[in-house]
Amino acid sequence: MTDPFAHHTPAPQVPHPASFRDPAGFVFAIDGVVYRQVNQFYSDRYDHLHRCGLYDQLTEQGLMVPYTEASIDLAQSTDACKILLPRQIRPISYPSEWCPEQLKDAALLTLKIQRLATDHGMTLKDATPFNIQFDKGRATFIDTLSFDLHDPARPWIAYRQFCESFLFPLYIHHYAQTGTAPIAAAWPEGIPASLTARLLPLKSRWNTGVWLHVFLQNQISSRQPAAADRNPTFSKAKLIRVIEHLQSIISRLNTSPQKSSAWSNYYSETSLGKSYLQAKEHLFRQYLNQIEFAHSLDLGCNDGLFAKILAEAAAGVIAVDADWSCIDKLYREHRPNILPLCVDLAHPTPASGFRNAERASFTSRTASDLVAALALVHHLSLGKNIPLRLIADYFNDLTKKYLIIEFIPLSDPKAAALVARKESPTIGYDPGHFESAFSRHFRIERKDPISGTERVLYLLQKS
Amino acid sequence: MTTLFLYIDPGSGSYLVQVIIAAILGGMFWIKKFWRKIRSFFTRGKKAP
């Protein structure tokens, strides 16, 4: 095997801060355009990926992001052999923001690619959800350099990583309805078999898949590492059997909400009735007609009613909600220009990984021309005790131009319910405080009461 | 004990697991196939007029 560091030169490199682990190459950006450098160390595998027809098959089936070869003059170091320009995917999201169905699709995509690679004498050397992004509403594999030449006598090197970062979170969700995002956030490199075995209920032991991949794996891997050194032989047929078993398990795991959550029927069962929604939608469409924007962000999107209206006019919509069952519903529609994500705005995804630089924060990734925050501010202000001034500051960080925001006064039953059991007084939550908090960053373009309610809709522009 | 494993290639432990899982799955496949044969022998007998 070639020494991965044999070609290393101290030439200045500007890889993306998340792209340093793989000696095969790295990702870098010039003027916001993302490129991938393939190093000489990887050239034989890169050639094989193309020669064997795997690249063509993966891209024709829409499983992997296609790329073109760019000028080698863009090389960031002397050991470059190719510079690739992939189709650009934006925005980037992380497994800690996905609903269970998104993680399931990412898992099945990984297995499908591994299965196809096996037929072409290749294998995935890693199986992490970070190699997958959602492009045009579908899971897409993005890491060109994950393919290695496969020795049929060896099992899948990434099997354990696959289990820890896909299968185990999905199993925990299947039995406990926890959502998979909190597991991915707490265990970014995957949740170990030993912990998964403790978390799963007793009845799960009757399931063959759980018994084999969780309990048996936990037993064997915690026993004698010397046994692994004997390198027992394997075969392609056995590898296919393991992959197909994982495929059949995962495709049968439950990812949809078993009972409706507090929010999943919010709009269809709203106490204010249809006329409120129609009036709000009418105003919303009027606002959209009078402004110009390309990318938008819908905060607290619920079932995506307004995100879908935004998608009619916008190039891309990021729709976020703290409730995974709402995101699940919207994701299953596979709308090409809506990216649904599970994000709690009181705890948006932080910058993480080595030096806090591998993965960018939610705030830095999602800033958009237009931000919509409908029926949301009262939750942050009254429910989470975040002062209106700080909410205004945060929305100012998130929007580049416009903000469409709804204010729900304390006289509204939904707002009143949030403070009904509070002993401390509610100070500074009224239209006057609201307008003065937001006028520090924005000027009011439109202000319209929503007929039949005391709620008010605003179109604000950054001043 | 656990500190010992920190210095071991994370892929190596999963090799043996896959060998055993593949063997068990192979066994289950043959049992299923055999069971289906037995069942079809009897059901065929029952359905015959």
Do A30 and A52 fall into the same domain? yes
Chain B residues with CB under 8 Å of A159 CB are 11, 14, 17-18
Count of domains for chain A:
3
Return the DSSP state at A202. G
Do A105 and A81 fall into the same domain? no
ipTM over 0.95: no
Do A163 and A307 fall into the same domain? no
* Count of A-B CB contacts under 8 Å: 78
Burial class (CB in 10 A: 0-12, 13-18, 19+), A456: middle
Tell me the three state secondary structure of residue A273.
Answer: helix
- Beta strand A316-321 with A295-299 is parallel
Report in angstroms the alpha-carbon separations of A34 from A164, A387, A394. Answer: 29, 38, 28
Q: Per-residue pLDDT for A6 more than 60? A: no
Does some domain include residue A191? Answer: yes
Give dist(CA A372, CA A302) in Å, integer: 12
Q: Where do we find the tokens 């939750």?
A: A379
Structural domain ending residue among the three candidates A34, A56, A86: A86
Average pLDDT rounded to a whole number, residues A361-386: 95
Task: Print burial letters for A82-106: b (CB count within 10 Å at least 16), e (below 16).
Answer: bbbbbeebebbbbbbbbbbbbbbbb
Do A75 and A105 fall into the same domain? no
What is the per-residue pLDDT for A221?
A: 80
Does some domain include residue A404? Answer: yes
Give dist(CA A362, CA A336) in Å, integer: 21
Give dist(CA A129, CA A359) in Å, integer: 13
Does some domain include residue A42? Answer: yes
Does some domain include residue A6? Answer: no
Span between the terminal Cα atoms of chain A, in Å: 60
Which residues form the domain of A246?
Answer: 95-252
Burial class (CB in 10 A: 0-12, 13-18, 19+), A370: buried
Does some domain include residue A342? Answer: yes
Q: Give the confidence band of A233 by pLDDT, cuts at 50, 70, 90.
A: confident
Do A156 and A129 fall into the same domain? yes
Which residue is closest to A221 within chain B, CA to CA? B13
Does some domain include residue A3? Answer: no
Nearest by CB to B15, which of A213, A231, A241?
A: A231
Structural domain ending residue among the three candidates A86, A110, A132: A86
Q: Give the confidence band of B33 by pLDDT, cuts at 50, 70, 90.
A: confident
Tokens representing residue A39 in the block: 């190093």
Pick among B2, B21, B31 to test the A interface (most A CBs inside 10 A): B21
Q: Per-residue pLDDT for B34 more than 90? A: no
Nearest by CB to B21, which of A158, A229, A242?
A: A242
Structural domain ending residue among the three candidates A35, A55, A86: A86
Q: Per-residue pLDDT for A402 more than 60? A: yes
Do A288 and A363 fall into the same domain? yes
Distance from CA of B13 to the nearest CA of A (A): 5
Positive or negative torsion for Cα A418, A422, A428, A431: positive
Report in angstroms the alpha-carbon separations of A236 from A116, A230, A243. Answer: 12, 19, 11
Cβ of B24 and A212 within 8 Å?
Answer: yes
Tokens representing residue A94 in the block: 């992380």
Return the DSSP state at A350. P
Do A358 and A338 fall into the same domain? yes
User: What residues of A are in the B interface, CB distance below 8 Å?
Assistant: 154-161, 163, 208, 212-213, 216-217, 220-221, 225, 227-229, 231-232, 234, 238-239, 241-242, 245
Pick among A111, A160, A168 to test the B interface (most B CBs inside 10 A): A160
Q: Which range (A229-233, A238-242, A254-258, A364-368) has the least confidence?
A: A229-233
Average pLDDT of chain A? 90
CA A111 to chain centre: 19
Instruction: List pLDDT tens digits, range A215-224.
Output: 999 988 876 5
What is the per-residue pLDDT for A8?
A: 38
Do A79 and A116 fall into the same domain? no
Cβ of B13 and A155 within 8 Å?
Answer: no
Task: Print burial letters for A263-275: b (CB count within 10 Å at least 16), e (below 16).
Answer: ebebbeeeebeee
Helix ranges restricted to H, B1-49: 2-5, 12-47
Is A308:A286 a contact under the CB 8 Å cutoff?
no
Tell me the three state secondary structure of residue A8.
Answer: coil
Does some domain include residue A78? Answer: yes
Do A297 and A437 fall into the same domain? yes
Chain B residues with CB under 8 Å of A220 CB are 13, 16-17, 20
Give dist(CA A172, CA A175) in Å, integer: 5
Cβ of A156 and B10 within 8 Å?
Answer: no
| Phi, psi torsion values for A368, nearest 5 degrees | -135, 165
Do A210 and A100 fall into the same domain? yes
Average pLDDT rounded to a whole number, residues A339-348: 96
Do A277 and A402 fall into the same domain? yes
Cβ of B21 and A156 within 8 Å?
Answer: no
Is A127:A162 a contact under the CB 8 Å cutoff?
yes
- The pLDDT > 70 percentage for chain B reads 63
What is the per-residue pLDDT for A9?
A: 36
- Give the number of C-alpha atoms closer than 13 A to the C-alpha of residue A279, restricted to the C-beta side: 16
Q: Per-residue pLDDT for A116 more than 80? A: yes
- Beta strand A456-462 with A399-407 is antiparallel
Return the DSSP state at A54. H
What is the per-residue pLDDT for A321?
A: 97
Closest CA to A220 of A159, A133, A268, A290: A159
Do A39 and A112 fall into the same domain? no
Nearest by CB to B16, which of A212, A228, A238?
A: A228
Angle at A257 between CA A251 and CA A258, to 5 degrees: 100
CA A245 to chain centre: 26
A451: domain CATH number is 3.40.50.150
Which residue is closest to A234 within chain B, CA to CA? B19
Cβ of A208 and B28 within 8 Å?
Answer: yes
Average pLDDT rounded to a whole number, residues A158-187: 96
Does some domain include residue A264? Answer: no
What is the per-residue pLDDT for A222?
A: 74
What is the per-residue pLDDT for A274?
A: 84
Q: Which range (A2-11, A44-53, A119-128, A265-274) has the least confidence?
A: A2-11
Chain B residues with CB under 8 Å of A248 CB are none
Average pLDDT rounded to a whole number, residues A323-347: 96
Q: Where do we find the tokens 């179109």?
A: A459
Strands (E), A271-415: 295-299, 316-321, 338-342, 368-373, 399-407
Average pLDDT rounded to a whole number, residues A45-65: 96
Give dist(CA A418, CA A426) in Å, integer: 11
CA A169 to chain centre: 15
